[in-house]
Chain A
Amino acid sequence: MAISEVTVKDAELLAIDEINAAGGVLGKKIEPVIEDGASDWPTFAEKATKLIAQDRVATVFGGWTSASRKAMLPVFEKRKALLWYPVQYEGLESSPYIFYTGATTNQQIVPGLDYLKEKGKKKLFLVGSDYVFPRTANKIIKAYAAANGMQILGEEYTPLGHTEYSTLVNKVIEAKPDAVFNTLNGDSNVAFFKQLKSAGVTADQMPVMSVSVAEEEVKGIGVDNIAGQLVAWNYYQTTDTPENQKFVAAFKAKYGADKVTSDPMEAGYNAVYLWAEAVKKAGSTDVEAVKKAAAGVTLARPEGQVTIDGDNQHVYKTARIGVVQPDGQIKEVWNSGKPIKPDPYLKTYSWAGGLV
């Protein structure tokens, strides 16, 4: 497992411990079985099959990249088992056997664009890793830009894990955009932000809006390289709710005071609670019963109130734009005020008509 994925697993284990300590679900303790997808999509499918067919688990929490989810989707649909996917993603999907506890595009990317528009950033440059999330996200961004009088000056993709960004940074600088929209994945962010900084570009001149950089990644990138830049999520370690204070304290108590919490971790942590709540409501761990009971389940979570949308099995989430602080934490500078209804196919957005 890559570093980011391990932290989500840790958060999910914390939720399981807490639920077990409070008596478990339906009088039973939750027993975790851990499998490693090894960042390899076919392995994800293999391990998911093992969990369902051999270990006969009640439900599965996990997945990281969109490709890992796409590889597992047929496994869960054909075996009629449940997957809780904790990562923000590109939308345009709603499997009856997956619950999506991370943001879909209208809860992260669209608010991110709204924020840039509000700040008068009219010319954007798109930088992303070459896989389905950035490509689909950029398709949405281009449709949004066309409808909102914004201009896309360039769109560049680099292979996953790419770490040589001087050429790309030069291209970005030459294009002179008002802002960069960044959908790079994982370690590529480290190299990208370092080279951006060494090229002398500051967040004041040309802010970068990232949708895959959270507290955990800020540590890896080095706060000096990214302080002042924008990120779009639904949760930060600094989010001010009583549930979050408890979550952060419990996580640090279990895993160490130097640990940070992040959006995907919180979404994984929530997933376990949402499942447990649905099981309690259903009075059973039977997949169809849980699916039915899950609709409308509402909980106060670290990110605020979340509700499962019964139609598409996504979650109502509050969008939050943040700025990376010199201490590595992220300070919220804007939020949507209330949880946004998930709309994975962007049906309620007139400009997105041609996308699906």
Chain B
Amino acid sequence: MTAFQDSTVAAPAEPPARPVPAEPAPARWTRLRGPAVFTAVAVLMLVVAPLALEPFRLGLLAKYLCYAIVALGIGLTWGQGGMLTLGQGVFFGLGGYAMGMYLKLHDAGGDLPDFMVWSGVDHLPALWRPFGNPVFALAMVVVLPVAVALLLGVLVFRQRVRGAYFAILTQALAAALVILLVGQQGLTGGTNGLTNFFDFFGNDVAADGTQRGLYVLVAAVLGVLYLGARQLVRSRFGRLLLAIRDGEDRVRFLGYDPAAVKTVTFAISAGMAGIAGALFVPVVGIISPALLGVVPSLELVVGVAVGGRYALAGAVLGAVVMGYAKTYFSEELPEAWLYLQGALFILVMTLAPKGLTGLAVTLWRSVTRRRAAA
């Protein structure tokens, strides 16, 4: 699989595409192109979409945007840092469960959450108690995933584990978490997960108004995180990350510590996935092991690959496109939708290995080149 190779091995023949800063852009409109596109997309998402879409479709879009936040993190670790992470579902799940536990306790209002009652638990487990505090729960949304990622990063990257081995490790972590969650039904809700939420910080979670507000919140969080990630990529840290992706040993010989850079990047992407998971819970109304196992984690990576992993915007776009494709195919062709989803992936990967954004950049360049030649 080429995905493994060109993310871990420096490709001297063809430098990985980094569409925005790759070429010097002296013309003023070219410099303004990025911000202009971002503003246009932001207006589209924050103003046009809430007005144009009916509540059900807007809710679905909010769900795709949650996935896009995870994808943004994958774009950082995999696209920029060359670390193929197949277990972002773990961090998504940690954030989601932290939020879900708070909402469950809040709804129960001092009683036991519903699933504990039918699972035969008679008093609130100690693990749950602090999650009744919203500040603690919201902090855990980020702290838990980041802590797990830091720990894993320190253990793994110090040992110079990389490439497929790192990918397999993250995948195994996702599989293990699912088994843990499913097996502890009284503590976690088992296969069912946590569902049936009523109140989200004083708002009826099912009301159209709340859902519209949540959509705006998700879109805004995505926008802010995107800008932050973009800044990070352009910073010294980002250059270093890119250098590590293309030649980790060379960076080490220059006196830098690649393990630290990789660990921090991985932790940032984990924090993003945690935030996405926490937002997902009130938007979709459920968090369950099925949402954070191997398959959904892979689907996210596939989305990033389809969108184009070398550009952060590509990762975001890919997640939204794949989310939309999943809904569309499953509504229009319920019998064939899984095949079509797979076909979309294969098609994009064979025709445009750098994803949709890579394809767009190639097309744009050939157009401008032709124009320059004329």
Contact = CB atoms under 8 A, between A and B. Distances in A.
The reply to whether chain A is a binding partner of chain B is yes
Interface of A: 1, 34-36, 38, 40-43, 45-47, 49-50, 53-54, 65-67, 70-71, 73-75, 77-79, 90, 92-93, 130-132, 135-136, 139, 157, 159-160, 355-356
B71 to A, nearest CB: 18
Interface string B309-337: 00000000000000000010011001101
B286 A42 contact: yes
Q: B-side binding surface: helix, strand, loop or mixed?
A: helix
A295 B327 CA distance: 37
Given A131-B182, A136-B119, A71 B191 contact: no
B193 A135 contact: no
B182 A42 contact: no
| 8 nearest A-B pairs in the assembled complex, by CB-CB distance | A131-B191, A36-B334, A78-B206, A74-B196, A53-B56, A92-B118, A67-B192, A70-B192
B55 interface: yes
B169 interface: no
20 contacts: A35-B331, A38-B338, A41-B195, A45-B195, A46-B327, A49-B56, A53-B54, A54-B54, A67-B288, A71-B193, A71-B195, A71-B288, A73-B195, A73-B196, A74-B195, A90-B118, A92-B118, A130-B183, A132-B191, A139-B120
A49 B286 CA distance: 13
Nearest to B57: A54
A41 B192 contact: yes
B334 A74 contact: no
Interface string B26-53: 0000000000000000000000000000
B81 to A, nearest CB: 30
Contacts of A66: 192
Contacts of B55: 53
Interface residues of B, number: 35
Contacts of A136: 118-119
A73 B114 CA distance: 13
A133 to B, nearest CB: 9
Nearest to B333: A36
Contacts of A79: 206
B331 A130 contact: no
B118 A356 contact: yes
B197 A74 contact: yes
A1 B120 CA distance: 31
A47 B334 CA distance: 11
B331 A50 contact: yes
B11 interface: no
Nearest to A70: B192
A36 B191 CA distance: 19
A135 B196 CA distance: 20
Nearest to A1: B334
